[in-house]
């Protein structure tokens, strides 16, 4: 196993990781950034991004992440295509093991993000970014006056259904059980909303669409018990069945909450261990946006700078 020593190690290459590395490099900290196998993070699986400031027209998620990577390289970040497998945060310098390299660092920024849960259907994958999304805040705007379906029954699904009533002509919430897990106050709002219909006890069998142009036209549902199928015409489908933070490597070494998100001191990116910071979706289950992840990446780098000075 080879050894790589650095002042600051940044783990992850989504908006949080790249912003942290750009700030750390410009502060003269010569950061090493381990990109993970999903270089660029979650925005690599989306198409149009219209809410990242600085661009008058919609930009493509993968293009934005290529630009961030190019900027990081331009300011001298050392990028390593590797995946952290285990960590030792018991004393400084901290140790993080990759596939064949051990990284030894005075400070660590964890920016490993989260993964939206998907249903796992081939047709869902085919139309991802073309009518199928896992983020209503991000993509809801593209469905003005359209019919959309939200899949899920927890708080996120109900929040997204209510949010989508601002854009869509009609919202159908599809849940595989016969009651919601969301808070009662949210449920009341949902049931009383004139634009929302709820379909209980159904699972999505297939997402239907056209190839040219590539777009969603509907979905086939199956009753959970009887197996009876029904077809619905839809323009967009939002999968809202939760997220998994990428914290399996860290959860025995840092404080995490009951959903696995890394706990940070409020208003900072400081974790339970001095010198270990966490930025972006790995610690934020509220906002989950590229710009907030980038903002937290900036905070983490500034906090590392201060920490190393002290
Ligand atoms: C379909 C979809 C559309 C979206 N659209 C928008 C949008 O339009 N606008 C918007 O603002 N937001 C959007 N988002 C949300 C946005 O993508 C996320 O909020 C943002 O990417 C979070 O950034 P992050 O840096 O925290 O983590 P991520 O983007 O999740 O990146 C995590 C990084 O960590 C790496 N990693 C994970 N584990 C390890 C490990 N053990 N070792 C090394 N590296 C590791 C991964 O390879 C990846 O590079 C969308 C999300 C989805 C899923």
Q: Note if 138 is an active site residue.
A: yes
Nearest by Cα to 133 from 154, 118, 112: 118
Which of 22, 43, 110, when mutated, tests ligand 1's pocket best, judged by the most ligand atoms within 8 Å of its CB? 43
User: For residue 55, what are the CA distances in angstroms to 17, 58, 68, 133?
Assistant: 21, 7, 14, 21
Residues 107 and 251 in one domain: yes
Residues 106 and 196 in one domain: no
Count of CB atoms situated within 10 Å of the CB of 165: 18
| pTM for this model (two decimals) | 0.90
CA–CA gap between residue 223 and residue 233 (Å, rounded): 17
Residues 98 and 139 in one domain: no
Q: What's the domain range around 44? A: 2-115+243-309
Residues 10 and 50 in one domain: yes
**Among all chains, which residue has been given the structure tokens 């750009």?**
22
Helical H runs in the chain?
15-26, 61-74, 122-126, 136-139, 155-164, 184-192, 290-309
131 CA → ligand 1 middle, Å: 19
Residues 200 and 61 in one domain: no
Q: What is the pLDDT of residue 167?
A: 96
231 CA → ligand 1 middle, Å: 33
Which candidate in 6, 135, 235, 284 is catalytic? 135
Q: How many separate domains does the chain show?
A: 2
Q: What is the pLDDT of residue 17?
A: 98
Q: Note if 139 is an active site residue.
A: yes
Residues 126 and 178 in one domain: yes
Q: What is the pLDDT of residue 222?
A: 98
Is the Cα dihedral 112, 116, 120, 126 positive or negative?
negative
Q: What is the pLDDT of residue 40?
A: 97
Residues 224 and 295 in one domain: no
Q: What is the pLDDT of residue 46?
A: 82
Q: Which of 239, 261, 279 is the endpoint of a domain?
A: 239
Q: What is the pLDDT of residue 273?
A: 97
Residues 235 and 135 in one domain: yes
Nearest-atom number in ligand 1 for the CA of 116 is 53
Residues 179 and 111 in one domain: no
Residues within a 6 A CB radius of ligand 1: 11-17, 34-39, 41-43, 45-46, 49, 51-52, 83-84, 111-114, 116, 133-135, 138, 246, 249, 280-282, 288-291, 293
CATH assignment of the domain containing 84? 3.50.50.60
In the structure encoding, which two tokens stand for residue 135, read together?
Answer: 């983020």
Nearest by Cα to 24 from 310, 308, 290, 217: 308
Q: Note if 188 is an active site residue.
A: no
2 CA → ligand 1 middle, Å: 28
Nearest-atom number in ligand 1 for the CA of 114 is 30
Which of 9, 10, 12, when mutated, tests ligand 1's pocket best, judged by the most ligand atoms within 8 Å of its CB? 12
Q: Are residues 195 and 172 in contact, defined by beta-carbon separation less than 8 angstroms?
A: no
Q: What average pLDDT values come out for the chain (310 residues) when binned by 10 residues? A: 97 98 98 97 89 95 97 98 98 97 98 96 96 92 97 93 96 97 91 97 98 96 97 97 96 95 98 97 95 98 97
Nearest-atom number in ligand 1 for the CA of 280 is 26
Residues 99 and 18 in one domain: yes
Residues 128 and 216 in one domain: yes
CA–CA gap between residue 87 and residue 304 (Å, rounded): 18
In the structure encoding, which two tokens stand for residue 285, read together?
Answer: 């289950």
Q: Which of 210, 239, 268 is the endpoint of a domain?
A: 239
Count of CB atoms situated within 10 Å of the CB of 5: 12
Q: Which of 208, 223, 239 is the endpoint of a domain?
A: 239
Residues 180 and 220 in one domain: yes
164 CA → ligand 1 middle, Å: 22
199 CA → ligand 1 middle, Å: 31
């Amino acid at each position: 196993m080879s050894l790589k020593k650095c002042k600051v190690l940044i783990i992850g290459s989504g908006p949080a990781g790249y912003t942290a590395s750009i700030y750390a490099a410009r502060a003269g900290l010569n950061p090493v950034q381990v990109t993970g196998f999903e270089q660029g993070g979650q925005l690599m699986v989306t198409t149009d991004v219209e809410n990242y400031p600085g661009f008058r027209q919609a930009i493509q998620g993968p293009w934005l992440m290529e630009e961030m990577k190019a900027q990081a390289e331009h300011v001298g970040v050392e990028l390593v295509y590797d995946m952290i497998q285990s960590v030792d945060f018991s004393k400084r310098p901290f140790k993080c093991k990759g596939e064949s390299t051990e990284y030894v660092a005075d400070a660590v920024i964890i920016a490993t993000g989260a993964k939206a849960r998907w249903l796992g259907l081939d047709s869902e994958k085919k139309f991802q970014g073309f009518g199928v999304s896992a983020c209503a805040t991000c993509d809801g705007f593209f469905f003005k006056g359209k019919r959309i379906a939200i899949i899920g029954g927890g708080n996120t699904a109900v929040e997204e259904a209510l949010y989508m009533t601002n854009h869509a002509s009609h919202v159908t919430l599809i849940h595989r059980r016969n009651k919601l897990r969301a808070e009662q106050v949210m449920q009341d709002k949902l049931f009383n909303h004139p634009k929302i219909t709820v379909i209980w006890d159904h699972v999505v069998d297939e997402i239907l669409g056209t190839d040219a142009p590539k777009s969603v036209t509907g979905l086939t549902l199956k009753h959970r018990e009887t197996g009876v199928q029904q077809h619905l015409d839809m323009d967009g489908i939002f999968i809202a069945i939760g997220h998994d933070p990428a914290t399996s490597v860290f959860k025995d070494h840092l404080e995490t909450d009951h959903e696995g998100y890394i706990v940070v001191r409020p208003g900072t990116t400081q974790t339970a261990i001095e010198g270990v910071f966490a930025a972006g979706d790995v610690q934020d289950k509220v906002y989950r946006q590229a710009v907030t992840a980038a903002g937290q990446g900036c905070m983490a780098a500034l906090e590392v700078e201060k920490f190393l000075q002290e």
